[in-house]
Amino acid sequence: MTKEKKQGKLIVFSAPSGSGKTTIVRHLLDIEDLNLEFSISATSRDKRGTEIDGKDYYFLSAKEFKTKIKNNEFLEWEEVYRDNFYGTLKTEVERIWAEGKNVIFDIDVSGGLRIKRKFPEETLAVFVKPPSIDELKIRLKKRKTENEDKINMRVAKASAELATAPLFDTIIVNDNLESALKEAEEKVSKFINS
């Protein structure tokens, strides 16, 4: 992917699970003036529930994913657990740029920072911070999607992720959703129009 092909900007949202980044990203996608399109990640994990290939994720086998890694087809990727990969295909960003749109990512911390390093000028990297670890745990429990062990795992991971916040261009503390949405809108709009 060469810089000459660049048409839009890259907006990265990263945060510990339960911080509200997905809610913020969905809100921004509804604002027409921002001209955003969501970057669909690729994964080698199995589909869950009603997930749809090409809408929720691009579902690949671990073997297909590894082949694409070998062929340098990813902008960024990570092996989260053994043979459980997540990544951003270069073709996904190129597809969105070809439509003349800006790309928005809802992505883990390390993937977000990799994109920022590859495209420092074109990327706005936003870290969404929960008001506290205790509040994060409450939010994860309210979801009722995971057992206590999984929640504790996510909370432990969140501490490490919070330490990376200063590496991002900007931090939004999501202690009040309305304020966080407004702040995200302002920051993204200013970056896109700069």
Q: What is the pLDDT of residue 98?
A: 96
**Do 165 and 135 share a domain, yes or no?**
yes
Same domain, 87 and 113: no
The reported pLDDT for the residue numbered 124 is: 98
CATH of the domain at 160: 3.40.50.300
Q: Do 137 and 193 have their domain in common?
A: yes
| Domain-embedded: residue 81 | yes
Q: Does 152 map to a domain?
A: yes
User: What residues are designated binding site for ATP?
Assistant: 15-22
Do both 93 and 116 map to the same domain? no
CB 158 within 8 Å of CB 108: no
Q: Which residues, given as ranges, of the chain have pLDDT below 70?
A: 1-6
Query: Which residue among 77, 100, 123 closes a domain?
Result: 100
**Number of structural domains in the chain:** 2
pLDDT score at 13 = 97
Residue 77's domain comprises: 37-100
- Longest Cα pair distance anywhere in the chain, in angstroms? 48
Please indicate, yes or no, whether residues 84 and 111 belong to a single structural domain of this protein: no
Same domain, 78 and 145: no
Residues linked to residue 53 through DSSP beta bridges, in sequence order:
57
Residue 3 resides in a domain? no
Which has the closest alpha carbon to 129: 176, 83, 97? 176
Count other Cβ atoms within 10 Å, centred on residue 2.
5
Summarize the annotated binding site as residue ranges: 15-22
Q: What is the dihedral of CA 95, 100, 104, 107, to 10 degrees?
A: 20
Among 30, 34, 32, 31, smallest CA distance to 11 is for 34
Do the domain assignments include residue 68?
Answer: yes
pTM of the model: 0.88
- Three-state SS string over the chain comes to CCHHHCCCCEEEEECCCCCCHHHHHHHHHCCHHHCEEECCCEECCCCCCCCCECCCEEECCHHHHHHHHHCCCEEEEEEEECCEEEEEEHHHHHHHHHCCCEEEEECCHHHHHHHHHHCCCCEEEEEEECCCHHHHHHHHHHHCCCCHHHHHHHHHHHHHHHCCHHHCCEEEECCCHHHHHHHHHHHHHHHHCC
pLDDT in the model for residue 145: 75
